[in-house]
Structure 1
Protein backbone atom coordinates (compact mmCIF):
# COMPACT_ATOMS: atom_id res chain seq x y z
CA UNK A 1 0.00 0.00 0.00
CA UNK A 2 2.91 2.36 0.79
CA UNK A 3 4.25 1.98 -2.79
CA UNK A 4 0.87 2.88 -4.27
CA UNK A 5 0.56 5.90 -2.00
CA UNK A 6 4.07 7.08 -3.02
CA UNK A 7 3.12 6.64 -6.68
CA UNK A 8 -0.08 8.68 -6.19
CA UNK A 9 1.77 11.46 -4.34
CA UNK A 10 4.52 11.50 -6.99
CA UNK A 11 1.92 11.62 -9.79
CA UNK A 12 0.07 14.44 -8.09
CA UNK A 13 3.32 16.37 -7.66
CA UNK A 14 4.09 15.89 -11.37
CA UNK A 15 0.63 17.16 -12.37
CA UNK A 16 0.98 20.22 -10.10
CA UNK A 17 4.48 20.92 -11.52
CA UNK A 18 3.25 20.60 -15.10
CA UNK A 19 0.28 22.85 -14.33
CA UNK A 20 2.63 25.49 -12.88
CA UNK A 21 4.79 25.39 -16.01
CA UNK A 22 1.79 25.63 -18.33
CA UNK A 23 0.28 28.46 -16.29
CA UNK A 24 3.56 30.38 -16.46
CA UNK A 25 3.76 29.77 -20.22
CA UNK A 26 0.20 30.85 -21.05
CA UNK A 27 0.94 34.61 -21.17
CA UNK A 28 3.86 33.93 -23.49
CA UNK A 29 1.72 31.79 -25.75
CA UNK A 30 -1.06 34.38 -25.79
CA UNK A 31 1.55 37.10 -26.28
CA UNK A 32 3.30 35.47 -29.24
CA UNK A 33 0.81 33.16 -30.96
CA UNK A 34 -1.81 34.36 -33.43
CA UNK A 35 -4.63 32.94 -31.25
CA UNK A 36 -3.73 35.55 -28.63
CA UNK A 37 -4.79 38.28 -31.05
CA UNK A 38 -8.19 39.44 -32.33
CA UNK A 39 -7.79 37.80 -35.74
CA UNK A 40 -11.39 38.52 -36.71
CA UNK A 41 -10.50 42.11 -37.63
CA UNK A 42 -7.45 43.48 -39.43
CA UNK A 43 -6.39 46.97 -38.31
CA UNK A 44 -4.24 49.57 -40.11
CA UNK A 45 -1.84 51.71 -38.07
CA UNK A 46 0.71 54.37 -38.99
CA UNK A 47 3.19 56.44 -37.03
CA UNK A 48 6.82 56.66 -36.04
CA UNK A 49 9.03 54.31 -34.08
CA UNK A 50 9.38 55.84 -30.61
CA UNK A 51 11.59 53.36 -28.72
CA UNK A 52 14.71 51.30 -29.35
CA UNK A 53 12.82 48.27 -28.15
CA UNK A 54 14.24 44.76 -28.38
CA UNK A 55 15.72 43.38 -31.59
CA UNK A 56 15.99 39.63 -31.07
CA UNK A 57 14.40 36.28 -30.34
CA UNK A 58 11.75 35.07 -29.87
CA UNK A 59 10.30 38.30 -31.31
CA UNK A 60 11.43 41.86 -31.83
CA UNK A 61 9.38 44.48 -30.02
CA UNK A 62 9.27 48.30 -30.06
CA UNK A 63 6.86 51.18 -29.56
CA UNK A 64 5.17 53.28 -32.23
CA UNK A 65 3.61 56.69 -31.63
CA UNK A 66 0.54 56.78 -33.85
CA UNK A 67 -0.28 59.54 -36.33
CA UNK A 68 -2.92 61.93 -35.00
CA UNK A 69 -5.23 61.20 -37.92
CA UNK A 70 -5.39 58.04 -39.95
CA UNK A 71 -7.18 57.38 -43.24
CA UNK A 72 -10.37 55.32 -43.10
CA UNK A 73 -8.58 52.24 -44.49
CA UNK A 74 -5.16 51.05 -45.59
CA UNK A 75 -3.62 53.49 -48.08
CA UNK A 76 -2.32 52.25 -51.44
CA UNK A 77 0.85 50.40 -50.39
CA UNK A 78 2.76 47.55 -52.07
CA UNK A 79 1.57 44.21 -50.76
CA UNK A 80 4.42 41.70 -50.29
CA UNK A 81 4.52 39.06 -53.01
CA UNK A 82 3.62 36.31 -50.51
CA UNK A 83 0.33 38.03 -49.60
CA UNK A 84 -0.82 39.01 -53.10
CA UNK A 85 -3.40 36.24 -53.32
CA UNK A 86 -6.71 38.12 -53.75
CA UNK A 87 -8.11 36.38 -50.66
CA UNK A 88 -5.37 38.04 -48.59
CA UNK A 89 -4.51 41.28 -50.40
CA UNK A 90 -8.13 42.47 -50.51
CA UNK A 91 -8.30 42.05 -46.72
CA UNK A 92 -5.02 43.92 -46.13
CA UNK A 93 -6.13 46.76 -48.42
CA UNK A 94 -9.56 46.99 -46.75
CA UNK A 95 -8.30 47.00 -43.15
CA UNK A 96 -9.92 49.80 -41.18
CA UNK A 97 -7.76 52.25 -39.27
CA UNK A 98 -7.07 51.91 -35.56
CA UNK A 99 -9.74 53.67 -33.50
CA UNK A 100 -8.58 52.59 -30.05
CA UNK A 101 -7.79 54.83 -27.09
CA UNK A 102 -3.99 54.65 -27.19
CA UNK A 103 -1.59 57.18 -28.73
CA UNK A 104 1.22 54.63 -28.66
CA UNK A 105 1.20 50.90 -29.35
CA UNK A 106 3.73 48.19 -28.56
CA UNK A 107 4.55 46.37 -31.77
CA UNK A 108 5.68 42.76 -31.82
CA UNK A 109 7.24 41.44 -35.03
CA UNK A 110 9.02 38.29 -36.15
CA UNK A 111 12.58 37.65 -34.96
CA UNK A 112 15.46 39.17 -36.97
CA UNK A 113 16.17 36.12 -39.20
CA UNK A 114 12.53 35.98 -40.31
CA UNK A 115 12.17 39.73 -40.84
CA UNK A 116 15.50 39.78 -42.73
CA UNK A 117 14.23 37.03 -45.02
CA UNK A 118 11.42 39.36 -46.09
CA UNK A 119 13.28 42.67 -46.27
CA UNK A 120 14.21 44.06 -42.84
CA UNK A 121 17.78 43.17 -41.90
CA UNK A 122 18.24 45.69 -39.09
CA UNK A 123 16.53 47.19 -36.07
CA UNK A 124 14.14 50.04 -36.80
CA UNK A 125 15.32 53.48 -35.69
CA UNK A 126 13.57 55.97 -33.45
CA UNK A 127 11.75 58.46 -35.67
CA UNK A 128 11.48 56.05 -38.60
CA UNK A 129 8.13 55.82 -40.40
CA UNK A 130 6.13 52.67 -39.67
CA UNK A 131 2.82 51.50 -41.15
CA UNK A 132 1.23 48.11 -40.58
CA UNK A 133 -1.82 45.95 -40.94
CA UNK A 134 -2.38 43.41 -38.21
CA UNK A 135 -4.19 42.49 -35.05
CA UNK A 136 -4.69 43.86 -31.53
CA UNK A 137 -3.91 41.48 -28.66
CA UNK A 138 -6.93 39.98 -26.89
CA UNK A 139 -5.70 40.64 -23.35
CA UNK A 140 -3.52 43.75 -23.86
CA UNK A 141 -5.07 46.27 -26.27
CA UNK A 142 -1.77 48.19 -26.47
CA UNK A 143 -0.04 45.22 -28.13
CA UNK A 144 -0.21 45.04 -31.93
CA UNK A 145 1.10 42.24 -34.17
CA UNK A 146 1.37 42.97 -37.90
CA UNK A 147 0.75 40.48 -40.68
CA UNK A 148 2.54 42.96 -42.93
CA UNK A 149 4.31 46.24 -42.28
CA UNK A 150 6.00 48.99 -44.24
CA UNK A 151 8.95 50.96 -42.95
CA UNK A 152 10.94 54.05 -43.87
CA UNK A 153 10.20 56.82 -46.34
CA UNK A 154 10.17 54.25 -49.17
CA UNK A 155 7.46 52.12 -47.51
CA UNK A 156 9.46 48.90 -47.82
CA UNK A 157 6.99 46.00 -47.35
CA UNK A 158 7.77 43.16 -44.91
CA UNK A 159 5.70 39.96 -44.70
CA UNK A 160 5.12 38.78 -41.11
CA UNK A 161 3.16 35.57 -41.59
CA UNK A 162 4.62 32.10 -41.88
CA UNK A 163 4.20 31.22 -45.52
CA UNK A 164 2.02 32.96 -48.01
CA UNK A 165 -1.39 33.42 -46.41
CA UNK A 166 -2.94 35.31 -43.53
CA UNK A 167 -3.14 33.21 -40.36
CA UNK A 168 -6.92 33.76 -40.42
CA UNK A 169 -8.90 35.21 -43.30
CA UNK A 170 -11.12 37.52 -41.33
CA UNK A 171 -14.43 38.63 -42.82
CA UNK A 172 -14.16 41.68 -45.06
CA UNK A 173 -15.32 44.96 -43.47
CA UNK A 174 -18.82 46.04 -44.45
Structure 2
Protein backbone atom coordinates (compact mmCIF):
# COMPACT_ATOMS: atom_id res chain seq x y z
CA UNK A 1 0.00 0.00 0.00
CA UNK A 2 1.37 3.40 -0.96
CA UNK A 3 2.18 5.94 1.72
CA UNK A 4 -0.34 8.40 0.21
CA UNK A 5 -3.14 5.79 0.30
CA UNK A 6 -2.25 4.91 3.91
CA UNK A 7 -2.52 8.61 4.92
CA UNK A 8 -5.93 8.85 3.23
CA UNK A 9 -7.19 5.78 5.09
CA UNK A 10 -5.96 7.16 8.42
CA UNK A 11 -7.62 10.52 7.73
CA UNK A 12 -10.88 8.86 6.73
CA UNK A 13 -10.90 6.70 9.84
CA UNK A 14 -10.31 9.71 12.09
CA UNK A 15 -12.99 11.91 10.48
CA UNK A 16 -15.99 10.43 12.35
CA UNK A 17 -14.28 11.07 15.68
CA UNK A 18 -14.15 14.80 14.97
CA UNK A 19 -17.77 14.78 13.84
CA UNK A 20 -18.89 13.42 17.21
CA UNK A 21 -16.85 15.94 19.15
CA UNK A 22 -18.40 18.92 17.37
CA UNK A 23 -22.09 18.82 16.46
CA UNK A 24 -23.45 20.66 13.45
CA UNK A 25 -26.60 22.67 12.97
CA UNK A 26 -28.75 19.54 12.51
CA UNK A 27 -28.77 18.93 16.29
CA UNK A 28 -30.53 22.24 16.86
CA UNK A 29 -34.21 23.25 16.63
CA UNK A 30 -34.00 25.68 13.67
CA UNK A 31 -37.77 26.38 13.62
CA UNK A 32 -37.87 27.84 17.13
CA UNK A 33 -35.47 30.74 17.70
CA UNK A 34 -34.72 31.42 21.35
CA UNK A 35 -33.84 34.77 22.91
CA UNK A 36 -31.42 35.03 25.83
CA UNK A 37 -29.85 38.00 27.56
CA UNK A 38 -27.68 38.28 30.58
CA UNK A 39 -24.17 38.65 31.91
CA UNK A 40 -21.21 36.62 30.74
CA UNK A 41 -19.84 34.39 33.49
CA UNK A 42 -16.93 32.81 31.60
CA UNK A 43 -15.53 32.60 28.07
CA UNK A 44 -13.60 30.07 26.00
CA UNK A 45 -12.22 32.08 23.08
CA UNK A 46 -10.94 29.14 21.02
CA UNK A 47 -11.79 26.91 18.06
CA UNK A 48 -13.78 25.04 16.89
CA UNK A 49 -15.92 27.99 18.05
CA UNK A 50 -15.93 30.53 20.84
CA UNK A 51 -18.21 29.68 23.76
CA UNK A 52 -19.46 31.53 26.77
CA UNK A 53 -21.44 30.82 29.90
CA UNK A 54 -24.29 33.30 30.20
CA UNK A 55 -26.11 34.04 33.45
CA UNK A 56 -29.72 34.91 32.60
CA UNK A 57 -32.23 36.57 34.92
CA UNK A 58 -35.05 34.51 36.43
CA UNK A 59 -37.62 36.88 34.93
CA UNK A 60 -36.25 36.83 31.36
CA UNK A 61 -38.63 38.51 28.92
CA UNK A 62 -38.54 39.32 25.23
CA UNK A 63 -37.75 42.95 24.52
CA UNK A 64 -40.73 44.62 22.85
CA UNK A 65 -38.49 45.98 20.07
CA UNK A 66 -36.61 42.75 19.27
CA UNK A 67 -38.14 42.38 15.79
CA UNK A 68 -37.13 45.96 14.94
CA UNK A 69 -33.44 45.58 15.79
CA UNK A 70 -31.06 46.44 12.98
CA UNK A 71 -29.33 43.42 11.47
CA UNK A 72 -26.33 43.19 9.15
CA UNK A 73 -27.38 43.25 5.47
CA UNK A 74 -25.36 40.15 4.55
CA UNK A 75 -27.51 38.01 6.83
CA UNK A 76 -30.61 38.68 4.69
CA UNK A 77 -30.65 35.10 3.28
CA UNK A 78 -31.32 33.87 6.83
CA UNK A 79 -34.34 36.24 6.95
CA UNK A 80 -33.24 37.71 10.24
CA UNK A 81 -36.25 39.99 10.69
CA UNK A 82 -38.65 37.02 10.53
CA UNK A 83 -36.38 35.07 12.85
CA UNK A 84 -36.37 37.89 15.42
CA UNK A 85 -40.16 38.21 15.13
CA UNK A 86 -40.51 34.47 15.87
CA UNK A 87 -38.10 34.42 18.82
CA UNK A 88 -39.34 33.27 22.22
CA UNK A 89 -37.78 32.84 25.63
CA UNK A 90 -36.89 29.26 26.53
CA UNK A 91 -39.42 27.11 28.33
CA UNK A 92 -36.72 25.67 30.57
CA UNK A 93 -35.77 27.84 33.52
CA UNK A 94 -32.01 27.37 33.63
CA UNK A 95 -30.22 30.44 34.98
CA UNK A 96 -26.97 29.57 33.21
CA UNK A 97 -26.64 28.76 29.52
CA UNK A 98 -23.73 27.70 27.34
CA UNK A 99 -23.77 29.83 24.20
CA UNK A 100 -21.90 28.56 21.16
CA UNK A 101 -20.65 31.42 19.01
CA UNK A 102 -18.88 31.25 15.63
CA UNK A 103 -15.37 30.03 14.81
CA UNK A 104 -12.68 32.54 15.76
CA UNK A 105 -11.91 33.38 12.13
CA UNK A 106 -15.52 34.51 11.65
CA UNK A 107 -15.53 36.39 14.97
CA UNK A 108 -12.37 38.18 13.81
CA UNK A 109 -13.89 38.92 10.38
CA UNK A 110 -16.82 40.57 12.20
CA UNK A 111 -14.27 42.43 14.34
CA UNK A 112 -15.88 41.11 17.52
CA UNK A 113 -13.47 41.85 20.35
CA UNK A 114 -12.89 38.99 22.76
CA UNK A 115 -15.88 39.02 25.09
CA UNK A 116 -14.91 39.27 28.75
CA UNK A 117 -16.68 38.00 31.88
CA UNK A 118 -19.08 40.62 33.19
CA UNK A 119 -20.16 41.75 29.70
CA UNK A 120 -23.91 42.24 29.22
CA UNK A 121 -25.21 40.87 25.92
CA UNK A 122 -28.17 39.26 24.22
CA UNK A 123 -28.36 36.53 21.65
CA UNK A 124 -30.91 34.84 19.40
CA UNK A 125 -30.21 31.27 18.41
CA UNK A 126 -31.32 27.70 18.64
CA UNK A 127 -31.43 25.12 21.40
CA UNK A 128 -30.96 21.41 21.08
CA UNK A 129 -34.14 19.74 19.83
CA UNK A 130 -37.06 20.21 22.24
CA UNK A 131 -34.68 21.97 24.67
CA UNK A 132 -33.54 18.50 25.76
CA UNK A 133 -30.18 17.84 27.37
CA UNK A 134 -27.90 20.63 28.47
CA UNK A 135 -28.88 24.30 28.38
CA UNK A 136 -27.04 25.06 25.13
CA UNK A 137 -27.83 27.76 22.59
CA UNK A 138 -26.14 28.02 19.20
CA UNK A 139 -26.01 31.72 18.37
CA UNK A 140 -27.43 33.02 15.12
CA UNK A 141 -27.34 36.70 16.16
CA UNK A 142 -25.19 38.26 18.84
CA UNK A 143 -25.98 41.72 20.24
CA UNK A 144 -23.14 43.24 22.23
CA UNK A 145 -21.91 46.80 22.81
CA UNK A 146 -24.71 48.23 20.65
CA UNK A 147 -23.77 46.13 17.61
CA UNK A 148 -25.42 43.17 15.90
CA UNK A 149 -23.45 40.29 14.42
CA UNK A 150 -24.80 37.52 12.18
CA UNK A 151 -22.66 34.61 13.23
CA UNK A 152 -23.59 32.09 10.57
CA UNK A 153 -22.22 34.31 7.79
CA UNK A 154 -19.16 36.47 7.32
CA UNK A 155 -19.35 40.24 6.86
CA UNK A 156 -19.67 41.54 3.29
TM-score where L is the length of structure 1? 0.69
Matches within 5 A, 1:27-46: 27-30=20-23, 33-46=24-37
- The aligned counterpart of 2:103 is 111
Specify the SS of the correspondent of 1:50. strand
Between the aligned partners of 2:46 and 2:78, the Cα distance in structure 1 is: 32
1:99 paired with 2:91, answer yes
Between the aligned partners of 2:15 and 2:75, the Cα distance in structure 1 is: 36
127-136 vs 155-164, greater mean Cα deviation:
155-164
* Cα drift, residue 115 of structure 1: 1.3
- In structure 2, relative to structure 1, the CA distance for the partners of 1:59 and 1:90 (3 Å cut) is same
Between the aligned partners of 2:154 and 2:45, the Cα distance in structure 1 is: 22
The one of 33, 41, 53 equivalent to 1:50 is 41
1:126 paired with 2:136, answer no
The size of the alignment, in residue pairs, is 141
- The aligned counterpart of 1:169 is none
- The aligned counterpart of 2:136 is 143
**Contact 1:110–1:160 (Cα < 8 Å) also in 2:** yes
**Contact 1:43–1:98 (Cα < 8 Å) also in 2:** yes
Between the aligned partners of 2:91 and 2:82, the Cα distance in structure 1 is: 20
- In structure 2, relative to structure 1, the CA distance for the partners of 1:55 and 1:29 (3 Å cut) is closer
* Cα drift, residue 84 of structure 1: 4.0
**Structure 2, unaligned runs of 5 or more:** 1-8
- In structure 2, relative to structure 1, the CA distance for the partners of 1:25 and 1:85 (3 Å cut) is closer
**Structure 1, unaligned runs of 5 or more:** 1-13, 165-174
The one of 8, 31, 53 equivalent to 1:63 is 53
* Cα drift, residue 21 of structure 1: 6.1
**Contact 2:32–2:86 (Cα < 8 Å) also in 1:** no
Write out per-residue CA displacement over residues 87-123 of structure 1, whole angstroms, 9 at most, x where no aligned residue.
3312223311223121000111112220122240x21
